[in-house]
Structure 1
Amino acid sequence: RDEIKLLQRYIDELKGKVDLTVALIHEGVPARQSSMGGTDVRRALDKDIQTASQVKGLDILITGHAHVGTPEPIKVGNTLILSTDSGGIDVGKLVLDYKEKPHDFTVKNFELKTIYADEWKPDPQTKQVIDGWNKKLDEVVQQTVAKSPVELKRAYGESASLGNLAADALLVAAGKNTQLALTNSGGIRNEIPAGAITMGGVISTFPFPNELVTMDLTGKQLRSLMEHGASLSNGVLQVSKGLEMKYDSSKPVGQRVITLTLNGKPIEDATIYHIATQSFLADGGDGFTAFTEGKARNTTGGYYVYHAVVDYFKAGNTITDEQINGMRVKDIK
């Protein structure tokens, strides 16, 4: 659906019925492109800025996907864009001076108030319920499933150790006839510290109920998927060992893939490749619509990415140097 058209439709319906129009939006790309990368609030809000510039009559746009707070509201036309930090770190407070006629408002005060745990007392009844569940969960999530010599990290614009691990695990889980595996950068939600890797650590890193899917894709479709990843609208695809892509982010979108190889041989447009992925991508998630063109699709119901990672370790596989350092997807700009 076209979010601009829908938003404009509802704003038009509300005209004359409300004092202010406020949209709560979750779109765009995270501000952190990799574990080592810096943040750029304005870049992370590019999609929100684009929305605010196209929708007429929207007063306030509160967004969340950037995961980085706006030190002060960003004004685009007559729209204010605001964001808090992620993880409940802070609460945003906006105070406006509002005039009904003519319709106008100014920012009197805006702050991001940091929430410190020692400033708040938990509700005893709620805490009792949470403690009960935590006790049951600890029996599962504290189990050690593997060890890592280094912190395992994620990235959006290139390969990362967690992406390499997840793709390799999906490849193994899919079986010997599968040639390669792909997963999305945005589905990796945490880093894993060096040392013991727990069940809870794996689940929190790969938290989504995205089921293992296998299908056949042509080389042309595969290249289309990798080109979409190289557009960086939702991050590159993380890939299994043997698949390599070099791209140039300085080139126009759709013309960025420089080389795409499997086991050292170029991907051929007419060749059929048996691939593994997960259901979010298989259904075209994050704009990777070429997955929906796949043939011979098979879904392993109830078997998620974190299951594949845990089973990968249970089978005796360990974290390899290539998974840690392998730059399977690389920007050569």
Structure 2
Amino acid sequence: MHVNDTHANTQKAPQRLTAIKEVRAEKPSALLIDAGDVFSGTLYFNEFKGQADLALMNLMNYDVMTFGNHEFDLGSSPEGHKALSEFIQKSNFPFVSSNVDFSKDVNLKGLFNVNASSDPKDGQIYSGIIKEVDGQKVGLFGLTTAETADISSPKDVTFTDYIKAAQKMVDEFEKQGVNKVVAVSHIGYDDNAEFDNDLLLAAAVNGIDVIVGGHSHTQLDKPVVVDKDKNGLAKDPTVIVQAYQYSDFLGTLDVDFDKDGKVVGHKGALIPTKDKKEDPEAAAVLKTYTEKIKEIEGQEIGVVAETELTNPRATTDEDKSVRKNETALGNIITDGMLAKAKTYNDKVVMAFQNGGGIRAEIKAGPITVGDVITVLPFGNTLATMELTGKELKEAFELSFKSYPKENGGFLHVAGAKVEFDSSKPAGQRVVSIKYKAADGSYVDIKENEKYVVATNAFTAVQGGDGYDLFRKAYEEGRVTDLGLSDWENLQEQLQSLKTVNNETEGRIVDVKK
């Protein structure tokens, strides 16, 4: 059984445990594996720093976990990786990590064991562990993306080459007589090839039988088999699985091996957790944390909306809508995205947000944490993306394709002005796209030049709302998911404003004659 990228969606844990118990009733020896990114994404993490999730994971009897990039988010805080250290030490399961050096971090040194252990202790990190399943020895080792150095705050924690680390672990297990090997990976299924991904790992290292993946939030409804090496030559099969995100699924995988440890059969599926009843014991544990969360949701963020920040929807073509018109709320959201993205990459020139992802208005009066989360409830993250001017034009043509009808993919924008002509046919409507230069002037986008933009991971990584060109950019390694919570970016932006009102600025203008 496997999960990944739960991102503190702690409220779903009781349903996850029901699914786990159902699998264990049929297969008592099944391993339960977490492929990382338990940290960051909701108020449960903001308030409890992983301890709420850990209480429930301990109840679920996990066998092993590896580290996601978000486990290192607190490295630049005054306390550094203290919360991560406590998360590790209080766990009733071991961690695996073969390409991460913890030795220079004051909070984490002393927790890591370089050997592949057949007797791992709870609350410790190992390069690999050996578990017995149905009388067979299985080696498990962990990998974390080297991109963590750019998209998180590892500070004194460093990362080594994942291919070399994986080969070393396969060789080590072989020395110990183990020929069934599982990589617990947080490097992404098909993520940025400049850094690392599971498809490259499977092709490059012979001897990995299963990759339990995370990081790219990929929904692999069926396992993927890689049976060719990097040169296209036949190799022993490697089965790759990944279970999407946010505890929405419990992944399952059964594998058959021959006497030499070669995969000769497999069967895998994703079990939706939303259909499960809550486990009563887990629900009781969760309740001790949810009361505090509800209290926080009602807390004011220190900002007052002078007028309601509307989120209009259209019933006729003449009506204004968040899915076809510029809105003040869309502008504030994208301003926050642009400001935050620039702190990571000063080349970012604009930001955009799909209108379909803006889900509620903000009423006039004091704004609460709950108000902010209700506007952006999907737990989306901020990503940067390199596009040509031609691709940007294609994107805005998609944005305006349905006008005057609504389109969830309508793009709100910051750092730019876009003119379109709705009297023209769809696909020929963009008149001009200009970005705001450092001196405050607006500069025309040129088709053949490259630009760095910011958006959310739903559009950039998944190509959501029909943005296949963004998905293509992701597949070509031109997208970096910064992993920063969209609602937290919005909250910061609201807190930076002197006045909050419902006025727009003419960023998106229909120039039809």
* Same fold by TM-score greater than 0.5: yes
Contact 1:247 1:332 in 2 (8 A): yes
Decide whether the 8 Å contact of 2:382 with 2:456 is kept in 1.
yes
1:325 is aligned to 2:492: no
Out of 304, 307, 321, the position equivalent to 1:150 is 307
CA contact (8 A) 2:401 2:427 kept: yes
Provide the identity percentage: 33
Q: C-alpha separation between the residues in 2 aligned to 1:304 and 1:226?
A: 24
Cα distance between partner residues in 1 of 2:500 and 2:349 = 20
Match for 1:306 among 472, 484, 487?
487
The Cα of 1:320 is off from its aligned counterpart by 5.4
* Larger relative contact order, structure 1 or 2 (CA cutoff 8 Å, min sep 6): 1
AA of the residue aligned to 2:444: P
Give the superposition deviation at 1:196: 0.9
Q: Distance in 1 between matches of 2:386 and 2:498?
A: 29
1:277 paired with 2:455, answer: yes
SS of aligned partner of 1:310: helix
**Whole-Å separation in 2 of the counterparts to 1:214 and 1:175:** 10
Task: Please report how far the alpha carbon of residue 259 of structure 1 lies from its aligned counterpart in structure 2 after TM superposition.
Answer: 1.9
1:242-288: per-residue Cα shift (whole Å, max 9, x none)? 31112122321100112211122211111211111111000210012
Give yes or no for contact 1:211–1:279 (8 Å, CA) kept in 2.
yes
Corresponding residue to 1:172 among 339, 345, 351: 339
What is the Cα deviation at residue 292 of structure 1? 2.2
Q: Is the 8 A contact 2:419 2:510 kept in 1?
A: yes
Q: Counterpart amino acid of 1:269?
A: E
1:266 aligns with 2:444: yes
CA RMSD across the alignment: 2.5
SS at 1:324's partner residue? coil
Q: Distance in 1 between matches of 2:323 and 2:359?
A: 11
**Where do 1:13-52 residues align within 5 Å?**
none
Which of residues 241, 247, 257 in structure 1 aligns to 2:420?
A: 247
Which moves more between the two structures, 188-197 or 246-255? 246-255
Whichever residue aligns with residue 173 of structure 1, its letter is K
Structure 1 residues 320 and 198 mapped into 2: Cα distance closer, same or farther (>3 Å)? closer
Contact 1:170 1:308 in 2 (8 A): yes
The answer for the alignment partner of 1:140 in structure 2 is 296
**Amino acid in the other structure paired with 2:349:** Q
Corresponding residue number in structure 2 for 1:4: none
Aligned match of 1:196 = 366
Residue 207, structure 1, aligned to residue 377, structure 2: yes
Cross-structure match for 2:465:
286
Q: 1:191 to 1:270 in 2, by over 3 A?
A: same
Cα distance in 2, alignment partners of residues 218 and 313 from structure 1: 31
The answer to whether the 8 A contact 2:418-2:509 is kept is: yes
1:158 alignment partner, SS class: coil
Structure 1 counterpart SS, 2:503: helix
CA–CA distance in structure 2, aligned partners of residues 308 and 157 of structure 1: 23
- TM-score of the superposed pair, with normalisation by structure 1: 0.56
Q: Is the 8 A contact 2:382 2:485 kept in 1?
A: yes
Segments of 5+ residues of structure 1 without an aligned counterpart are: 1-127
Q: What's the offset of the Cα at 1:131?
A: 9.7
Deviations 1:146-190 (A, max 9, x none): 221111123111110111011011111112412111110000000
- The correspondence of residues 100-115 of structure 1 with structure 2, limited to 5 A, is none
SS for the counterpart of 1:179 is: strand
Amino acid at match of 1:238: H
Q: Which amino acid aligns with 2:457?
A: S
Distance, in Å, in 1 between the alignment partners of 2:481 and 2:287 is: 36
1:144 CA displacement: 1.3
CA distance in 2, matches of 1:324, 1:235: 22
Superposition deviation, residue 313 in structure 1: 3.6
* Cα offset, 1:229, TM superposition: 0.3
Which position in structure 2 is the counterpart of 1:123?
none
Q: TM-score, normalised by structure 2?
A: 0.37
Q: 1:234 aligns with which of 403, 408, 428?
A: 408
Q: Is the 8 A contact 2:333 2:493 kept in 1?
A: no
Q: How many residues align?
A: 203
SS at match of 1:190: coil
Moved more, 210-219 or 130-139: 130-139
Q: Any idea what SS the aligned residue of 1:255 has?
A: coil
Which structure 2 residues correspond to residues 178-189 of structure 1 after superposition, within 5 A? 178-189=348-359
In structure 1, C-alpha distance between the alignment counterparts of 2:489 and 2:296, rounded to whole Å: 17
Whichever residue aligns with residue 244 of structure 1, its letter is: K
- Tell me: CA distance 1:236–1:151, structure 2 relative to 1, closer, same or farther (3 Å): same
Once residues 235 and 332 of structure 1 are traced to their aligned partners in structure 2, the CA distance between those partners, rounded to angstroms, is 20
> 1:319, 1:181 → 2: CA distance?
21
Q: SS of the residue aligned with 1:325?
A: coil
Gaps of 5+ in 2: 1-282, 312-321, 437-441
Partner of 2:74: none
Structure ID, larger Rg: 2
Q: Is the 8 A contact 1:217 1:293 kept in 2?
A: no
Question: Equivalents in 2 of 1:133, 1:248: separation in Å?
Answer: 52
> How far apart, in 1, do the equivalents of 2:510 and 2:300 lie?
35
